[in-house]
Structure 1
């Protein structure tokens, strides 16, 4: 580790990519042979939400399908705030990016005639999801790209470090402060860089029930926000409706493709409940299905995914990853309904970026879930996340290739930061519990106000940088959710249940604005806080 630290401090690379998920790996490969440093908190291939993706990649590659139809589906579920030009551009770039992935060795499923096999998922008007062995796309893609990265001599890989602070000078990126992952007492390392790509993933692990790995704690969003970056749409958090309730953290996921193959949602009485809530029933947009599942659990009836008739004995072969998770929990999905609950799954918000992946800070790009491109609006269409990640990773690489980036300058003086130390486990547990209880599937004014005040206080008082960054991201989500007094897409307010046409616009905010919201709420009385309902 000392050799790694020594090499880091002497780095003169002009491009640093932070994140070992799909966006980070793909961007590094696309930049080759330009030298880059890729910083990954976990060993390559681990700790990335994209490796856990079961659904696949949406792409209009089948006969009769078109990018225009794909974009139309994306816009239809996005709650009226999708950037239509961005959605269409991503859909049109899908086929070339699938071709790139095939070139890197991703073994996408094919039909008997050798064509790419495509499946259907919720709110898609056509079968356009490209899979690997049914539910293994994410793992297969990350494995193939990780191997390609390790074979590429222009990519210097630094594993086991997290980025905890983005360093800037005169409004431009100057470098990063890194620390050994899992060792809060380790000496921080400061790395000079004039071009930084953040591909650090989402924030699902800020919630007590999530499908995301522990690394998805919103750190990339936090360090960009603390450096002054504009943050877009942070209130829009997508909850996957079918996390398997097996007592595990994170919760295993039962892919939406199961419902695409005919699995149904039932309550403890054996009754299908989605047929009364939406014409598409189980294939309705995720926010509607998540609220339907949440309502059954809240009413005490429970919620279950039933694939007994649709798949039965074929379950293990068609969906091996889900089958393994069920068996490990003592559930045989061929003969038993699977207990489920909504879980924090994907963040539509993030660092605001333009069509090239550029943020509001000179020299900072962002791609993948940590960014917000405008493609998802208030509610992401199934299997568009991996597509967006590869499209923007390629765009960022092209943009950087055309930029004249100055050599790293002298690093700015160190910033005042909390003392080094292990994250307070009790504080982390309180934060995650409050996010699930107050900033979850169903929200209201009083609970959001309490969350804003609590996260603002924790951000001020945190004694570790890791906890402070978690609180920073949580504050941004809660403050924007409190400010948006309507229901739109994945953001549902029980006290403002209607969608308001005048508010059909994206949120653009900053950490300073979120702190102002917290300050405005400091004199309001604390409401009575009930315990969270976590299945």
Structure 2
């Protein structure tokens, strides 16, 4: 089925237009750090769908992986990343990640980020699943918020950076596979605005809102992946969706993350009967790779006919837990759970998308002038399964690389963006459609059939359901942000299902009950999607 090139009708000759050197879509760690790494002589605009403080990065608890300990090295960090990625990591990208980690962490410290320290000159290091060494730096259990708060406070002081809040990116504007800018919807004025620039950086995060239970915020509807695909950008690894093993399971909250660092501090998993079960599933027990822990919990829940399991860290005293995990301790207590005495009810929930817009190590896509970094990008670092605490690091390392490349990029263009004249006209019509119900139905479908465990029959059912929605909304007149988000959710769900059906094996976060073995001979390769 053919999607329209653009989601709305417009005429570039009759639309409010702003000119900038660089447009950054997204205000998480990848987007803001990229803005800070761009030379201050360039005019930069950050576009964010909500306020600048709302992003997936802000919710990140655990920390950032970096080899700083005497017994650690970039080589060991590389090895652990490759192991977790189950054969699909791009080694060149991983080498860049691990070798440039320390310099970017140093930059964060210079920006004023307060990581926990052993001493004045030494950062505290903890361990998370599938890491062979203690290499996770953190700021309590709100690392993402600490980093984002500091970076945002710095970017607000930069005269060359304009922050545009409540501006939703709808589509890339392209001519002859060259990016010319971004068409947006300004919620405050209820009008379309065209942001023109020779360089557009997409840092919109993932698409966790495809699933019923997710640690992602409401804004994570995959808008960046959707607009990139419609413009002809290549997508890669869309079948690989990571479920975090331990998310609070409470009637009032099924999206609050219980950091992997809790298991790093020795917490153990127990089933509904209070029995420890991870030793039955993997030699690394609770610190096995995330996909294995999530599937183990899934199987244990099925075996005991329960909706959740328990995480037990009651052997640690209250004072220690309040200091090491203040946010988790406080939040659980608000639900009547004292984690120094009570088991924490947990269940897996969607957490991270390994797939996204295909890029190289400089963030370049197959569209000239269009770059991507952070969760929305797929440069092969994570392979089939992301190693814990590599995500914030990815946003830093590749945001920096894009930032430092901007001067070379812009030198190839005229100083003023060339005039464009594009008239997009379609036969879209107003429809009486409940987009909120569509989203809910898709979330339930994806959770049931395209989750932790998959098989062809369920994937085919999901595909049929999504195709019905594709037909329903393909000619729908889109008039607000919810409509744009619905178009992206439907599109991306279809692409995830198609890739999951195509990969007839189990690898990393993609587990097929009907193809349970890993097939390196036929499937040690990436699935790439492109509209045209």
Normalising by structure 1, we get a TM-score of 0.90
Residue in structure 2 matched with residue 169 of structure 1 by the alignment? 175
Residue in structure 2 matched with residue 12 of structure 1 by the alignment? 19
1:320 to 313, 321, 326: 326
Shift of 1:192: 2.3
Deviations 1:135-194 (Å, cap 9, x if unpaired)?
11100000000101101110011011111111211111122121135x8x9332222233
Is residue 37 of structure 2 the alignment partner of residue 27 of structure 1? no
Residue in structure 1 matched with residue 7 of structure 2 by the alignment? none
Residue in structure 1 matched with residue 207 of structure 2 by the alignment? 203
Normalising by structure 2, we get a TM-score of 0.91
Residue in structure 2 matched with residue 449 of structure 1 by the alignment? 460
With 201-210 and 186-195 compared, the bigger mean Cα shift is at: 186-195
Is residue 75 of structure 2 the alignment partner of residue 75 of structure 1? no
Does the 8 A contact of 2:357 with 2:376 survive in 1?
yes
Does the 8 A contact of 2:20 with 2:195 survive in 1?
no
1:361–1:260 distance in 2 versus 1, CA, 3 Å: same
Alignment RMSD (CA, Å): 1.8
Tell me the SS of whatever aligns to 2:464.
helix
Shift of 1:42: 1.7
Is residue 488 of structure 2 the alignment partner of residue 469 of structure 1? yes
How many Å separate the matches in 1 of 2:335 and 2:425? 47
Deviations 1:406-463 (Å, cap 9, x if unpaired)?
4333242125385679961111100111111111000110111222232233233223
Does the 8 A contact of 1:27 with 1:393 survive in 2?
yes
1:45 to 47, 53, 56: 53
Tell me the SS of whatever aligns to 2:19.
coil
1:188–1:457 distance in 2 versus 1, CA, 3 Å: farther
Is residue 356 of structure 2 the alignment partner of residue 346 of structure 1? no
Shift of 1:485: 0.6
Deviations 1:249-273 (Å, cap 9, x if unpaired)?
6600000000010100001111111
1:381 to 387, 405, 423: 387
1:416 to 418, 426, 436: 426
1:496–1:9 distance in 2 versus 1, CA, 3 Å: same
Counterparts of 1:249-264 in structure 2, within 5 Å, are 251-264=255-268
Counterparts of 1:487-526 in structure 2, within 5 Å, are 487-502=506-521, 503-511=523-531
Counterparts of 1:80-119 in structure 2, within 5 Å, are 80-112=87-119, 114-119=121-126
Deviations 1:315-355 (Å, cap 9, x if unpaired)?
22210111122122221111111111110000000000011
1:116–1:189 distance in 2 versus 1, CA, 3 Å: same
More relative contact order, 1 or 2 (CA 8 Å, 6+ apart): 2
1:36–1:267 distance in 2 versus 1, CA, 3 Å: same
Residue in structure 2 matched with residue 191 of structure 1 by the alignment? 195
Tell me the SS of whatever aligns to 2:80.
helix
How many Å separate the matches in 2 of 1:415 and 1:116? 56
Shift of 1:20: 0.4
Residue in structure 2 matched with residue 529 of structure 1 by the alignment? none
1:417–1:270 distance in 2 versus 1, CA, 3 Å: farther
How many Å separate the matches in 2 of 1:310 and 1:425? 43
Number of corresponding residues: 501
How many Å separate the matches in 2 of 1:400 and 1:39? 18
2:498 to 462, 479, 482: 479
Does the 8 A contact of 2:247 with 2:254 survive in 1?
no
* TM superposition outliers: structure 1 runs of 4+ over 4 Å: 417-423
Residue in structure 1 matched with residue 309 of structure 2 by the alignment? 303
Does the 8 A contact of 1:174 with 1:412 survive in 2?
no
Does the 8 A contact of 1:233 with 1:349 survive in 2?
yes
Is residue 241 of structure 2 the alignment partner of residue 237 of structure 1? yes
Shift of 1:9: 2.8
Shift of 1:113: 5.1
Residue in structure 1 matched with residue 226 of structure 2 by the alignment? 222
Does the 8 A contact of 1:13 with 1:36 survive in 2?
yes
Does the 8 A contact of 2:39 with 2:403 survive in 1?
no
